[in-house]
Amino acid sequence: MYNATMLTKLVVDLLGRCGVSHDDAAVTARALVAAEMRDIPSHGLLRLTDYIRMLRSGRINTGAMPEIVHQTASTVTLDGDNGLGPVVADKAIRHAIAKAGDCGTGWVAVRHSNHFGIAGHYAMQALPHNMIGVCMCNANPLVAPTFAAVGMMGTNPLAVAIPAGKEPPLVADFATAAIARGKVDLLHKKGLPIEEGFVQAPDGKPSTDPGILTRGGSILPLGSTRKFGSHKGYCMAAIIDIFSALLSGAAFGPFVPPSVAWLPVKKDLFGKGTGHFFGAMRIDAFLPADHFLSGMDRWIKTMREAQPANGAERVLIPGDPEREAEERNTRTGVSLQEKVKEQILNLCRELKVDCPL
Amino acid sequence: MYNATMLTKLVVDLLGRCGVSHDDAAVTARALVAAEMRDIPSHGLLRLTDYIRMLRSGRINTGAMPEIVHQTASTVTLDGDNGLGPVVADKAIRHAIAKAGDCGTGWVAVRHSNHFGIAGHYAMQALPHNMIGVCMCNANPLVAPTFAAVGMMGTNPLAVAIPAGKEPPLVADFATAAIARGKVDLLHKKGLPIEEGFVQAPDGKPSTDPGILTRGGSILPLGSTRKFGSHKGYCMAAIIDIFSALLSGAAFGPFVPPSVAWLPVKKDLFGKGTGHFFGAMRIDAFLPADHFLSGMDRWIKTMREAQPANGAERVLIPGDPEREAEERNTRTGVSLQEKVKEQILNLCRELKVDCPL
């Protein structure tokens, strides 16, 4: 079991050896370690090898200087200069928070960025300012629009963090697809079939083969099929793609560059890099903060105390499982998957960093 | 078949007889007729009887004067004075558009309002200003959070309207539940069962009885079950409820007043009336408008030209079916359900209005 401080230092050391500044390495390490602590390992240290491969091959800009290309009183358009996603995202949410401080709300569209880890990590940065935080991101294409045979959009996550008074904050953070790619891959590795309603074959027919994604198949939107509302999941993914890419000048839908080193660089015809969209809303721009915070406490208690469905233990508030994991992992330390440990040992060897794992 | 001008005049006449001003009646008529023209009759003239019953019994304030209770450069909190939903919503989206004109984006939280028809109607008002329009609304409880046995939230719709250049705009407008109540009721009337994954019994067990909603049952969130992502639909409904009610001071979740006259008034302990949340974002607050609009044209063409899934005719862009219905109904006129015609004949008789149906 490893503690967050040790893991953070390790990531900082490794990124430092690739020429990343101490500050940028620390911001990136915090994002990846936050995912581990919140039990979302698919967005944690598993990503470090790709980040480092892409930094070392020049696909990610080591010394990127993100730049404001346009702004109004409540908006910023940020060019990430092809930097590490967490570095760009951290700057972007700070701009959103500053704008919200000035005029009630702040909204930041970001182009030419890269994979940034968990969206919730950035949305949550608004919480100590008594603001609601919003974060969206597009991603390389894997999800088919309703009625389409092929993956045209990413799993495009949305995170919204909302402060409460005595209760812990509500943190919604979810992909707009029916299932995460990681879960499909896990079934594939185990040689198990996947139930209908999650993936489809390259001709758009339903499939129960989790290996289909490696052979031109695609993931279905949230809602699975038209009958069960996949057009709503498709709408969500579309809105997130457009806010992230079209408002910023990033690449959209099928043109979004891959976030892994083993996929080739695309000829990026329309737009620059991965896109994000951030928001911050000062709660006292709408109502006295106390009024809102006690209202949120009431909302949370009301939902938490709702009668559980037959067979269910309790009703959860968005963010409960991740917060509870973080509390537990802070006490006990967090474990790493064997595969990830091995990857990190290799990185340490390659970059001549003493490995504490 | 009836044309929009005739139906609008009819609704204006009927509301006028209830003491609603000509302007407010016209705004309300336009919202209800827009739903008919866009083939969403569940939010059209079907609602007029309830609007009128509630106006005449004093449950909706005939001469409401919506009032700004707080504002910043980019935000407004509006008290709807318990007016007709469309009248309040029309004022709110205008405030959002004005704020966006001034400082890039505008966001309006609304309390003490009522049922407002289709959310897309208000989001679309941002389009002629080259702005993205956003509209959300909470509603009386019918949808169970994931793992809950009972309906705690409304079908809480989200609409986002995004302008394009040569292509028609993208208009997403959807409820965050697995199915619309109207569709469940239709199966109930026909005596047909409903497939699993849409509704549940009062103990939270899956149900195939569409009549269960009249006996304490509830609708499942978008995603249907935890396995297929209902926690994401629950997150969406929660975010919309909180933006609409907690930021404005409206009633939330189980406390939202009914939008139909035959359900009794609630003791509204927490917050005032139905809540809405509106947004407008000037596209040139982020990028030169031409750049964005031609990007949207490309986005729309790219998705429209995606290979259709086996058995599907074509890939749709959000808003295509409603826009095509509107074009067709504008040419041919629109038909009304027999039940609705009968209701309107009764209203005409009661209010002494010449009925042109």
CA distance B146 to B29: 37
CB contact under 8 A, A149 and B308: yes
| Residue B174: closest CA among B127, B213, B135, B116 | B135
List, as one string, the DSSP characters of A54-89: HHHTTSS-TT---EEEEE-SSEEEEE-TT--HHHHH
Mean pLDDT of B13-19: 98
By CA distance, what is A132's nearest residue in B? B243
CB contact under 8 A, B315 and A270: no
pLDDT for residue B57 is more than 80: yes
pLDDT value for A264: 86
Per-residue pLDDT tens for B145-190? 999 999 999 999 999 999 999 999 999 999 999 998 888 988 998 9
List of residues 6+ apart from B204 with CB closer than 8 A: A307, A308, A309, A310, A311, A312, B144, B147, B148, B149, B150
Q: Closest CB to B229: pick one of A73, A222, A281.
A: A222
The number of beta carbons lying within 10 Å of the beta carbon of residue B273 is 27
List of residues 6+ apart from B22 with CB closer than 8 A: B12, B16
The CATH code that applies to domain B64-178+220-318 is 3.30.1370.60
Same fold yes or no, B1-63+323-357 and B64-178+220-318: no
CB B121 within 8 A of CB B35: yes
Q: In what order do the strands lie in the sheet with B131-137?
A: B67-71, B75-79, B105-113, B274-282, B131-137, B157-162, B170-175
pLDDT value for A298: 97
Q: Is A157 on the interface with B (CB under 8 A)?
A: no
The CATH class given to the A68-178+220-318 domain equals alpha beta
CB B199 within 8 A of CB B215: no
Mean pLDDT of B47-58: 96
Helix (H) or strand (E) holding A181: helix A181-190
Q: Closest CB to A286: pick one of B109, B150, B179.
A: B109
| Token reading at B238 | 């929660």
Choose, out of B195, B228, B272, B302, the residue to mutate when testing the contact with A (most A CBs < 10 Å). Answer: B228
Q: Closest CB to B286: pick one of A149, A195, A247.
A: A247
Residues of chain A with pLDDT under 70: 268-269
CA distance A107 to A99: 8
By CA distance, what is B171's nearest residue in A? A235
The CATH class given to the B1-63+323-357 domain equals mainly alpha
Q: Closest CB to A147: pick one of B107, B148, B308.
A: B308
Q: In what order do the strands lie in the sheet with B199-200?
A: B206-207, B199-200, B218-219
Q: Is B349 on the interface with A (CB under 8 A)?
A: no
Q: Is B146 on the interface with A (CB under 8 A)?
A: yes
CB contact under 8 A, B75 and A239: no
Residues in a beta bridge with A71:
A76
Kindly list the residues from chain B whose CB atom is less than 8 angstroms away from the CB atom of residue A301: none
Q: Is B347 on the interface with A (CB under 8 A)?
A: no
CB contact under 8 A, A152 and B204: no
Kindly list the residues from chain A whose CB atom is less than 8 angstroms away from the CB atom of residue B313: 147
Distance from CA of B115 to the nearest CA of A (A): 22
pLDDT for residue B268 is more than 70: no
By CA distance, what is A160's nearest residue in B? B239
Choose, out of A134, A220, A232, the residue to mutate when testing the contact with B (most B CBs < 10 Å). Answer: A232
Distance from CA of A18 to the nearest CA of B (A): 33
CB contact under 8 A, A308 and B204: yes
Instruction: Determine whether A289 is exposed, middle or buried from the number of CB atoms within 10 Å of its CB (0-12, 13-18, 19+).
Output: middle
By CA distance, what is B131's nearest residue in A? A247
For chains A and B, CB pairs below 8 A equal: 278
CB contact under 8 A, A309 and B247: no
pLDDT value for A276: 98
The CATH code that applies to domain A1-63+320-357 is 1.10.1530.10
| Token reading at A66 | 């993100």
CB contact under 8 A, A316 and B231: yes
Q: Which of residues 98-117 of A touch B (CB under 8 A)?
A: 102-105, 107, 109
Where are the domains positioned within chain A?
A: 1-63+320-357, 68-178+220-318
CB A109 within 8 A of CB A273: no
Rounded to two decimals, the ipTM of the complex is 0.98
